[in-house]
């Protein structure tokens, strides 16, 4: 087996991506995970990517790749760096995502922002997944794991969230297709749905989230570190285990039953 693990995280400049990078750096190497760790940190803001790298445990190799996941050129360069410098890719976390029109009724949405939401959330993951499969299917030993940041919105949307909900519903399809088509290459795929993690993007629910009846309700939140711990768990699973779908939510979050 390789003596190092190469893990690529998109959207690594803040929030869930940063937390997961730090969590992985604290987990590798260890008695449970003896491999050396290479973290490839992708995002559009170089200074914030460097801040993520600085927050990782000393000794972790952090490769910073500044670029946009909707740019085929940028994505191509990023994965070429992985192939040329490290020779393999063990895990891809498709984490980059936005909600550019949340809270706006569909009839009032700026459709250019709707398209941008779909491009970043869907096509960003599609482009990265395609390149990851290209590496994972050819390396020795071949195979790897892809984790897609989904959302509770894919099955339980909030009011006025059509763009984000559509994008995350598409990620569910991408995850299942990747798991199926990846079998011949020993590639597994997980959709990780996250509900009410305390981040700059998702933390609004602590102040009041719109409910189906139009009211605002303060909702339970969870520390984003729980997401980091979950990613470490998924990353450490043996190659013959495929977790198709995993949801992690704040206890009491109103998505089950009638509230």
Over the stretch 108-127, which tens digit does the pLDDT of each residue have?
999 999 999 999 999 999 99
Are the C-beta atoms of residues 121 and 98 closer than 8 Å to each other?
yes
For the chain, how many structural domains are there in total? 1
Query: What is the four-CA torsion angle of 133, 148, 190, 255, rounded to 10 degrees?
Result: -160
Helix 162-181 / helix 124-136 crossing angle, nearest 10 deg:
10
- Domain limits at 142? 4-249
16 falls within a domain: yes
Question: Could you give the strand order of the β-sheet that contains 61-66, starting from the edge strand earlier in sequence?
Answer: 61-66, 36-43, 4-9, 91-94, 144-149, 187-195, 245-249
Instruction: Look at residues 87, 80, 72 and name the one whose alpha carbon lies nearest to residue 38.
Output: 87
CATH of the domain at 169: 3.40.50.720
Residue 254: inside a domain: no
pTM metric for this prediction: 0.94
- Report, as an integer, the average pLDDT of 136-149: 97
Q: Classify residue 258: in a domain, yes or no.
A: no
In a domain, residue 65? The reply is yes
Both tokens of 189, joined, read: 């795929």
Domain membership of residue 174 (yes or no) is: yes
Looking at the domain assignment, is residue 259 inside a domain?
Answer: no
pLDDT higher than threshold 90 for residue 258: no
pLDDT of 171 reads: 97
Q: What is the mean pLDDT of residues 236-250?
A: 95
33-58 confidence digits (pLDDT tens): 899 999 999 999 999 999 999 999 99
Going by their DSSP bridges, the two strands 209-210 and 216-217 should be labelled as: antiparallel
DSSP type of residue 247:
E
- The answer to whether position 194 is within a domain reads yes
pLDDT score recorded for residue 1:
53
In a domain, 109, yes or no: yes
Q: In the chain, helix, strand, coil percent, each to 5?
A: 40, 20, 40
């Amino acid at each position: 087996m390789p003596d190092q693990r190469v893990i690529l995280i998109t959207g690594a400049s803040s929030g869930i991506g940063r937390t997961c990078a730090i969590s992985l750096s604290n987990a590798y190497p260890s008695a449970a995970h003896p491999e050396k760790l290479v973290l490839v940190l992708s995002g559009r803001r170089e200074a914030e990517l460097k801040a993520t790298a600085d927050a990782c445990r000393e000794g972790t190799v952090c490769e910073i790749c500044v670029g946009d996941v909707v740019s085929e050129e940028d994505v191509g360069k990023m994965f070429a760096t992985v192939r040329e410098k490290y020779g393999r890719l063990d895990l891809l976390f498709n984490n980059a995502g936005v909600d550019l029109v949340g809270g706006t009724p569909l009839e009032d949405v700026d459709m250019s922002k709707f398209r941008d939401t779909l491009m970043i959330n869907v096509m960003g993951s599609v482009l990265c997944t395609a390149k990851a499969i290209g590496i994972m299917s050819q390396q020795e030993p071949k195979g790897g794991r892809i984790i897609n940041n989904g959302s509770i919105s894919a099955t339980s949307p909030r009011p006025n969230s059509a763009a984000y909900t559509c994008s995350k519903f598409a990620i569910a399809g991408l995850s299942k297709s990747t798991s199926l088509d990846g079998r011949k290459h020993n590639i597994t795929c997980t959709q990780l749905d996250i509900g009410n993690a305390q981040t700059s993007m998702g933390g609004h629910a602590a102040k009041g989230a719109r409910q189906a009846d139009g009211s605002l309700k303060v909702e339970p939140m969870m520390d984003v570190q729980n997401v980091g711990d979950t990613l470490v768990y998924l990353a450490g699973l043996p190659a013959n285990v495929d977790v198709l779908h995993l949801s992690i939510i704040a206890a009491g979050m109103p998505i089950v039953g009638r509230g």
